[in-house]
Amino acid sequence: MFTLSVCGIPLEIHGASERCRQLCAAFIVPDKPDAQRIVITDADIGEEVRRWPQPAGDRASGEFTLLCRKVQKALLPRDCLLIHSVALDIAGEGYLLLGKSGIGKTTLGRHCQRMLPGARIINGDKPMVLIDGGRILAYGTPWCGKENLCVNDHVAVRHLVFLRQAAANSRRPLNRKESFYRLIHQIPYPETEPEVKAYAALVEAVLTHCVASEYGCVNAPCAAVDLVKAWPEANPA
Amino acid sequence: MKVNPGYMLQVIAGNPVIVPLGNQFQKRPGLYRINDEAAFLFEQLQAGAPDGEVIEAFAARFGSTPAESGAVFTDFVDKLQRLGIIGEPDACSR
């Protein structure tokens, strides 16, 4: 058993392998009496591997993915959403870089780290976003992608940046509907009625408190510089 | 027509979506984006209203002719049937 802290919420993990514990090492905290209990069983792992095929019978990946799903489900009622994105802290200003796998989220994050003072990647794949009243806080998690880009820290997010590859850098503000249609595909879908209600409230909060843009950019350091240049002030109606 | 169990209509940030739940989620996870007109039809169907009443209510709500409403209804029902969200008409609702 070990205790994991995600979004500052302690989770007591039972039944996980040593490999899984190692992958979570940066987020393990001393045991806490109020921790929420999460149990991993062999049967769950087998089901996970059947449900979402892992690389060539990789049971360890299945277990790690399963833990992610269980953590996401446990934290949804506690105002947390797992959002497939790169969470970026640029001198205290938070950005979520969003888009399909392979679109260049991590690459742009790395350009930002190299080019912009005070820029760091909080999480390279699946940050947990805590909706704390009017504040949208992106936290690091152990699920941070192949390049293992994560820190156990958080940043207040102000910008949702939906990426597309382009021959030149340009950005346009997105209205609420456009942002919604793009955002929902980056969050695990809810599957029970209470989850749907929680999901709806949290997605609405994210869209209310963040400014959304589509950013077409080149794969070059200038994309980092242009990312933070002349950002739109607010979502248009 | 009758909406199969395991689907709910939810408005998220002003956008209506149909959400599969439980077993339906296992078969086909996701969210189905629909517009306000489709949301109205879905609500009526889920409440078990007969087809004719749904079409009349749609015409009254959106100011369309019965023929236009019927066409919209048929098109929407076809789409829901293809997705398995509604099944065959229940004899009692005809």
Task: Annotate chain A with DSSP letters as a single string.
Answer: -EEEEETTEEEEEES--HHHHHHTGGGEE---TTPEEEE--HHHHHHHHHHSPPGGG-HHHHHHHHHHHHHHHHHGGGTEEE--SEEEEETTEEEEEE-STTSSHHHHHHHHHHHSTTEEEEESS--EEEEETTEEEEE--S--TTTT-B-S-EEEEEEEEEEEE-SS-EEEE--HHHHHHHHGGGSPPP-SHHHHHHHHHHHHHHHHHSEEEEEEE-SSTHHHHHHTSS--SS---
> What mean pLDDT, rounded, does chain A reach?
91
Which residues of chain B have a CB within 8 Å of the CB of A204? 12-13
pLDDT at B92: 46
- Assign B89 a pLDDT band (cuts: 50, 70, 90): very low
Report the gap between the CA of B18 and the closest CA in chain A (Å). 10
Residues A102, A60 share a domain: no
Residue A9 lies in a domain: yes
Instruction: For chain B, list residues whose CB is within 8 angstroms of any CB belonging to chain A.
Output: 8, 10-15, 17, 19-22, 25-26, 29-31, 33
Q: Taking the model in full, what pTM does it have?
A: 0.89
pLDDT at A55: 60
Token pair of A149 as six digits: 């880009």
Residue B2 lies in a domain: no
Residues A8, A23 share a domain: yes
Q: How far apart are CA B58 and CA A69, in angstroms?
A: 41
Query: What's the ipTM?
Result: 0.84
Q: Which residue of A has its CA nearest to B26?
A: A191
C-alpha pair distances (Å), A162 with each of A6, A42, A186, A192, B10: 25, 37, 10, 28, 24
Report the gap between the CA of B14 and the closest CA in chain A (Å). 8
CB atoms within 10 A of CB A18: 7
Determine contact, residues A121/A90, Cβ cutoff 8 Å.
no
* Residue pairs between chains A and B whose CB atoms are closer than 8 Å: 45
Residue A234 lies in a domain: no
Mapped to the 3 state alphabet, what secondary structure does chain B carry?
CCECCCEEEEEECCEEEEEECHHHHHHCCCCEECCHHHHHHHHHHHCCCCHHHHHHHHHHHHCCCHHHHHHHHHHHHHHHHHHCCECCCCHHHC
Q: What is the pLDDT of residues B28-39, one digit of tens each?
A: 888 999 999 999
Residue A86 lies in a domain: yes
Determine the average pLDDT of the residues in B5-24: 94
pLDDT at B78: 94
CATH at A170: 3.90.228.20
Has residue B58 got a pLDDT over 90?
A: yes
Which residues of chain A have a CB within 8 Å of the CB of B17? 184
pLDDT at A155: 97
Which residues of chain B have a CB within 8 Å of the CB of A47? none
- The pairing of strands A93-98 and A128-132 is unpaired
Residues A88, A177 share a domain: yes
pLDDT at B90: 43
From the list A177, A180, A190, which residue is nearest B19 (CB)?
A190
Are B12 and A199 within 8 A, CB to CB? yes
CB atoms within 10 A of CB A117: 6
pLDDT exceeding 90 applies to what percent of chain B? 77
Q: Which residue of B has its CA nearest to A199?
A: B12
User: Among the three residues A33, A52, A77, which one is the final residue of a domain in this structure?
Assistant: A77
Determine the average pLDDT of the residues in A181-204: 94
Domain that holds residue A68: 2-77
pLDDT at A237: 45
Q: Which residue of B has its CA nearest to A207?
A: B13
Residue B94 lies in a domain: no
- Assign B14 a pLDDT band (cuts: 50, 70, 90): very high
pLDDT at A57: 56
Domain count, chain A: 2
Has residue A26 got a pLDDT over 60?
A: yes
Residue B1 lies in a domain: no
Residue A237 lies in a domain: no
pLDDT at B27: 85
Pick A46 or A39 by higher pLDDT: A39
Q: What is the pLDDT of residues A107-166, one digit of tens each?
A: 999 999 999 999 999 999 999 999 998 899 999 999 998 888 889 999 999 999 999 999
Report the gap between the CA of B17 and the closest CA in chain A (Å). 10
Domain count, chain B: 1
Q: Which of A168, A163, A142 is nearest to A222 (CA)?
A: A168
Determine the average pLDDT of the residues in A183-192: 93
Residue B58 lies in a domain: yes
Half-sphere exposure for B91 (CA within 13 Å, toward CB): 0
Residue B91 lies in a domain: no
Q: How far apart are CA A91 and CA A68, in angstroms?
A: 29
pLDDT at B93: 41
pLDDT at A52: 67
Report the gap between the CA of A207 and the closest CA in chain B (Å). 8
Token pair of A37 as six digits: 């209990």
pLDDT at B1: 77
Which residues of chain A have a CB within 8 Å of the CB of B8? 193, 196
User: Among the three residues A54, A77, A100, which one is the final residue of a domain in this structure?
Assistant: A77
